[in-house]
Amino acid sequence: MSLVELSATELLGQLHAGRVTSAEATQAFLDRIEACDKRVHAFLRVDRSAALARAEEIDSRRRGDAPVGRLAGLPVAVKDLLCTEGEPTTCASRMLEHFRPPYDATVIAKLRAADAVLIGKTNMDEFAMGGSNENSAFGPTRNPWDLTRIPGGSSGGSAAAVAARMSPLAVGSDTGGSIRCPAAMCGVTGMKPTYGRVSRYGLVAFASSLDQIGPMGHTARDAALLLEVLAGHDPLDSTSVDVPVPEYSRTVTQPLDGLRLGLVREHFGEGLDGEVEAAVREAVRVYESLGATVKEISLPHGKYAVATYYIIAPSEASGNLARYDGVHYGHRPDLGAMAAEWEAERKRLEAAGDTAALADMDNALIRMYRRSRAEGFGPEVKRRIMLGTYALSAGYYDAYYLKALKVRRLIRQDFDKAFESVDLVAGPVAPTPAFKIGEKVNDPLSMYLFDLYTISANLAGIGGISIPCGFSTGGLPIGLQLQAPPFEEERLLRAAHMFQTATDWHTRRPPLD
Ligand code: GLN
């Protein structure tokens, strides 16, 4: 079997046993990228020689019996909003097209310390705003299962890279569903951990109270392997929580006895595609056959989650994105051309004797800020900045932002109550399988509604996982979502692994060849 067909856990076993070198493995994935990524466009950047040099360095340490890290020699792809020292980190935005951070994100430093081989930076929606990857300034990623369809977003490049066997593991980030949605659309396993489980230091911020970094791979075991490296308290992120990190990769194979699953009544209503519902219900039956009990629960405030999110996330984004002014950070327009325009306008107004307009002319600095942001940001990012600025402005703050924070609390309380009687909440990840590229681009509201099942976990701060649970008649993957109380990632992984011992959806391959 080709090396790219192996799960990360299998490949790591081969590397540790000395049956495969990291250089061979890395070369195999680089070849696969070469063969597929012109069609899929999962990567924004691949540095072949750096990846191979790194692999060889790890191999030589291993040959010399020097200590190696937990992921020694294993390729990992990372979303292009994680700062990599001296290497482009674009957030799929023109704004950061030439940005090279002066430091590594904590998760990148951890991957390096674990001796992973960073194989490339993956495509995404600009600044992680989107659910389809169509908002990338550098062109969309395509779903490996059907190249005319979206891979989900915003971590669509990471999901597609794993699904297409271009990387055994990938790192994504999830603010409202951005790991779970693309995992579902591409048929891979992806987890959003509890808020505070993984350090956000060096993650380019979208909505700081919601953003969380997490693992993506073929199986729950692979996700466990990666999460074990990513997770943990970090003094550089004051919101990361100092709770012990279990040995996920060891415990993941332990089944859960007497698992109690909650099915959310409100998740099986209007808007849910029939095939998705059937696959999810069948997945629940699989759990029952494994000894789980199932009960219907209610999350009564869930219906406000999308509205609440689209106040809170843009509000935070409008603040976070204020730094991109072409001075501190970001794209700087052509100053020579701007100065000439300014001068021409001044002359014209002088000739016309329009003293009022002359006095009103923006000064050069304001003009540069405006031009920088007008040129650097794409339409969805601008839409979010406007929404957020509006929601935070005087007179609207109480009516929108403060109200949204109160609803957010109620959403969390719904989960707290549900978890008094169930261990995990189970349900769909997204209302339909992957839609066609272009289908929703002119309808932001229907795009926003696509996240209705994933957003409440971010608002509540809890963890969730998406695992493959079936296919549509059109051959598109369907995901099952499990959600757990705070810091119960271990439970999510063990439950996901149980399912993967009884099913083989996660082993299916997209018809790319
Ligand atoms: N699709 C959602 C949005 O557009 C979630 C994005 C995310 O999780 N980063 O905001």
What's the token pair of residue 460? Answer: 């509540």
Distance CA 191, CA 171 (A): 10
- Segment 427-439 shows an average pLDDT of 98
Residue at 264: amino acid letter = V
With a cut of 90, say whether residue 269 has pLDDT above it.
Answer: no
Which of 105-109, 183-187, 441-445 bottoms out in mean pLDDT, i.e. has the lowest?
441-445
For residue 426, list its beta bridge partners: 263, 482
Domain 3-301+418-507 has CATH 3.90.1300.10: yes
With a cut of 90, say whether residue 366 has pLDDT above it.
Answer: no
What's the token pair of residue 50? Answer: 């750096």
With a cut of 90, say whether residue 499 has pLDDT above it.
Answer: yes
pLDDT at site 51: 98
Residue from 22, 178, 199, 315 carrying the catalytic annotation? 178
| Percent of the chain topping pLDDT 90 | 91
Residues of the chain with CATH 3.90.1300.10: 3-301+418-507
Report the separation in Å between the CA atom of 137 and the middle of ligand 1, taken as the mean of its atom positions: 16
Distance CA 21, CA 101 (A): 31
Counting every residue, how long is the chain?
513
Sign of CA dihedral 488, 239, 465, 502: negative
Distance CA 182, CA 467 (A): 11
Q: Which residue carries 């327009």 as its tokens?
A: 333
Ligand 1 pocket test, candidate residues 81, 127, 175, 459, most atoms within 8 A of CB: 175
Give the pLDDT confidence of 381-391 residue by residue, as tens digits: 999 999 999 99
Report the Cα 339 to chain-centroid distance in Å: 40
- Segment 272-300 shows an average pLDDT of 97
- How many CB atoms are located within 10 Å of the residue 41 CB? 22
Which atom of ligand 1 is closest in space to residue 179's alpha carbon? 8
Query: Any catalytic annotation for residue 154?
Result: yes
Residue at 305: amino acid letter = A
What's the token pair of residue 178? Answer: 């951005």
What's the token pair of residue 248? Answer: 């996920």
Ligand 1 pocket test, candidate residues 79, 133, 154, most atoms within 8 A of CB: 154
Residue 339 pLDDT class (50, 70, 90 cuts): confident
Residue 360 pLDDT class (50, 70, 90 cuts): confident
Ligand 1 contacts (CB < 6 A) are 128-131, 154, 174-178, 206, 313, 451
Query: Any catalytic annotation for residue 436?
Result: no
Sign of CA dihedral 334, 336, 340, 342: positive
